[in-house]
Each structure stands twice: as C-alpha cells, then as structure tokens.
Amino acid sequence: VKLANKYLMPLITRGTGTGKAGGAIPDKNGVVVSLERMNRILNIDPINRTITVEPGVILSDLQEAIGKEGLWYPVDPASADWCTIGGNVACNAGGPRALKYGVTGDYVLGLKGVYGDGTFFQLGGKLLKDVAGYDLKRLLIGSEGTLGIITSITLKLLPPPPPEQVIWCGFDCISDGIDFLIAVLSQNIQPTAAEFMPGVCLKAVESYQKTVFPFSHHAAHLLLVLDARYQLDYSILPSCHRVQFDNPEALWAIRRDISESLTHVSISKCSEDITVPVSQLPALMRGLQRLTDQSDYVCLGYGHLGDGNVHVNVLNTDQPIEKWQIDQPYLVERIIKLGISLGGTLSGEHGIGLTKKPYMPLYFSERDITIMKGIKAQFDPNHILNPSKVFD
Ligand SMILES: Cc1cc2nc3c(=O)[nH]c(=O)nc-3n(C[C@H](O)[C@H](O)[C@H](O)COP(=O)(O)OP(=O)(O)OC[C@H]3O[C@@H](n4cnc5c(N)ncnc54)[C@H](O)[C@@H]3O)c2cc1C
C-alpha cells in the first residue's frame, strides 16, 4: 500500500469476485490485491463466542468450522459457498435470514487492516459493547474496498438456532402472494426468512436444473422459514396453496439457483437490489408490471421480500443487444426512481460499486456526497483504494 501511494497506483481489493455491483472489477490501471489465499481461521473462542479469521475464508468453510464447535453464524447469503467473509464485511452482505438475524455488520466486533495511506488499524476486538469515540469500524463495514484493506475479522457467534419449519406456498397471482406475506408479517411472529418468487423464476430454475416441480404452475411462490413453535394462521388468505415437500434443502436450492437460471433464459439481464418499506411492496410490484407492459423487457422482483429487499431483474429475452444497451440504463433509472419514490434505497445488500454509482445523486444530496468524499480523503488521502467506485 505504501508503494501504491508512492506511485499513485490504484489498488483494487478482491475476495472471490462474487460481488454484484462490480466493486472488485479493475476498471482502471492498477493492481488487484487478491485476498483469496489469506484464508486461515485464526481463533474460535467459545467463552466469548467469537471467531477471528483472515478475510479470504469462504463463508461456508467458516460456517462449517464453527458448527463443529456447537456455535452458529446466522448470516447466510446465497453465495455462501463462493464468497469470502472479507467481501461480506466490505459489502455488509445480508441474505435470507437477515429478516430475523440482521446482516454481516451486526456481527462484526473487531477489524484489523491497512488504511489507504499504509498505516495499520485495529478497531474493536472481542467486545460486545464498545462506544468509544466515532465508530470507525462501522464506516469500514460496507465501504467496498474504498477506505481500507481488511486483513482480520472478529465476528460474534450465536448458539445454534431453535428448530425451524420450512413452508412453501403457491399463489394464483403476484398480488395474492404479496398480500399473504404482509399478513404473515403483521401477525405477532418473527419469520426467519420470507423469500418471494414470481412464477417466471421457477420456470427458469426448472429449465436450468432440467427438472419439473409439481407446483411450478403457480403465478407466485413464497418460501417461509419460521421457528417450529409458531403456528401460522392460513385462514388469513384462502388463496394460499400450501405445497407439501419432504426436502427443505431442495426448496432452498431452487431459491439459490434463481439468479443463475435467469441468466440462462435471457439474452442479457441486469439485476438491482433496491429496498422499500414492506408496506410499499404492493406498489413496487405494480410499478414493475407497468414497466414490463410499457417496455420490450420483463421486469420482475424476487428475493428477500420479508425485509423489503427486492432483487429487481430486467430480462432481455428477444431484443437485439444494441437496443438493450440503449434501453437498459433508462429502465434501471426508472426502477431506482420508483424505489426511491416509495421511500426505498438504492441497495439493500449488494452495494454501489461501479454499477450503481451513477444513481448516487438520486438518493443522496450533494452535501451528503461531499461528506462521504471527505471521509474517504481521511482514510485514503491519495485516493489509492478502489478509486473509481461508489462515487467519482
Ligand atoms: C449467486 C449469487 C448470490 C448472491 N447472494 C447474495 C445474498 O443473498 N446476499 C448478499 O448480500 N449478497 C449476495 N451476493 C453478492 C456477493 O456474494 C456478496 O456481495 C459478497 O459479500 C461478495 O464477496 P466476495 O468475496 O466475492 O467479494 P468481491 O466481489 O471480491 O468484492 C466485493 C467488494 O468488496 C471489496 N473487498 C473484498 N474483500 C475486501 C477486504 N478484505 N477488504 C476490503 N475490501 C474488500 C472489493 O474491493 C469489492 O468492492 C450474491 C452473489 C452471487 C453471485
């Protein structure tokens, strides 16, 4: 990092490159700092209930290691088998269980690493409470490689979760599914996960997995995870078709394969992860349908709808690529403006990176962005770290 400062050479920190906002893409000259091989688990501490790791540990390896100690880390993005924990901290990754258990940042107790000028930092530790000074650790969480290179992470762990039930429901139309979800969330229970999928997602997974699901004819689907002790009141919406299925893991495999499957059924696609208040989901879904009707593309929303985090995908199934390239930014801007108009934000978990950078002024005031630039200048005075990401 000191050399990079001397030669004013950009450094692009990289975990395993699964980030969905292009944050690890070296779009300018510079050096990619791959942390893939910094993958040691340094310490599992059952008394303090913490794990300390290097950033290149793959999340599922971390989950397996702590499982052997009878402990649990709840954050479980669909990319758990491929992404690094460093990338998770840098993007503040979420996932299905965020609805009940929160996101990566809620579990980070300590960070070590290097600021942009090459000086080392050590923030927090195995402390469950720490309010000393400004929370620099929090600024690094979600900073997408622009403020520091994280080289060691201490996470808070939990005891294993209570027994859970996995429920799959089919619906005759998208609005029935959304109404049911909102009714469930309005009951006095806390779902662990509530993943919503329009029928087109299931059809894509069928084609990708080369299989047929007996329930794929429904127009919308909801994968619900609840503590086993909860009894759901299905009378709240009679149009919910409960699907009986013996293997919950296969249901999760459907959910996890959606992103990849949609790539296979379209010539090109783009994926946004706006978040809106749950009460605005019906309006958002109506808006996406309007966009589909008014354009030559399919605009659909799926994902962690229980916490309002919608993976909006625009699919190009039959238009020439040249036309797509012109239309796509316009459609994305309309989707983002729609989300913001409903009280939403640009990104719930994927971050800003390269792809959402143009939309920052739609969400933040000029003054907000000036303050962010000032913070960046303090952490990274020569603008070495991931210089073209988040904002110019
Ligand atoms: C199929 C699929 C499903 C996904 N599902 C989810 C999901 O459910 N929830 C979710 O939140 N995300 C999801 N993602 C997105 C992605 O997996 C996460 O953002 C993940 O945290 C990125 O980790 P990575 O190791 O691949 O990071 P990379 O892509 O390599 O990097 C991402 C950003 O973090 C920075 N960075 C990486 N490591 C460090 C470090 N040690 N120090 C400083 N900066 C660093 C990079 O510079 C870059 O800006 C999914 C991705 C895919 C492909």
- In this prediction, residue 187 carries a pLDDT of 86
Residues of the chain with pLDDT under 50: none
The pair of three-digit structure tokens given for residue 188, joined into one six-digit string: 């006095």
Cβ < 6 A, ligand 1 pocket: 12-20, 23-24, 35, 55, 77-79, 83-84, 86-88, 90-91, 93-95, 144-145, 149-150, 259, 349-350, 353, 386, 389
Q: What separation in Å is there between the alpha carbon of 58 and the centre of ligand 1?
A: 11
The pLDDT tens digits of the residues spanning 177-210 come to: 999 999 988 888 899 999 999 999 999 999 999 9
Nearest CA to ligand 1 atom 50: 79
Would you state the structure tokens that stand for residue 184, as one six-digit string? 């469930």
169 Cβ contact partners less than 8 Å away, ≥ 6 residues apart: 177, 180, 221, 222, 224, 240, 241, 242, 243
pLDDT tens sequence across 138-162 = 999 999 999 999 999 999 999 999 9
Ligand 1 centroid, distance to 233 Cα (angstroms): 37
Q: What is the pLDDT of residue 28?
A: 81
In 3D, which of 387, 392, 349 has the Cα closest to residue 147? 387
**DSSP alpha helix (H) spans, the chain:** 2-7, 59-68, 85-91, 98-101, 136-140, 174-186, 199-209, 248-264, 281-294, 321-341, 360-363, 366-379
| Residue 328 main-chain phi, psi, to 5 deg | -60, -50
Q: Report the nearest-CA residue for atom 27 of ligand 1.
A: 87
* For the CA of 349, the nearest atom of ligand 1: 11
Q: Which atom of ligand 1 is nearest to the CA of 351?
A: 19
CA 85 – ligand 1 centroid, Å:
8
CA dihedral 365, 367, 370, 376 (to 10 degrees): -80
Sign for the pseudo-dihedral over CA of 24, 21, 305, 279: positive
C-alpha angle 189/193/196, rounded to 5°?
115
**Its pTM surpasses 0.85:** yes
pLDDT, residue 249, reads 86
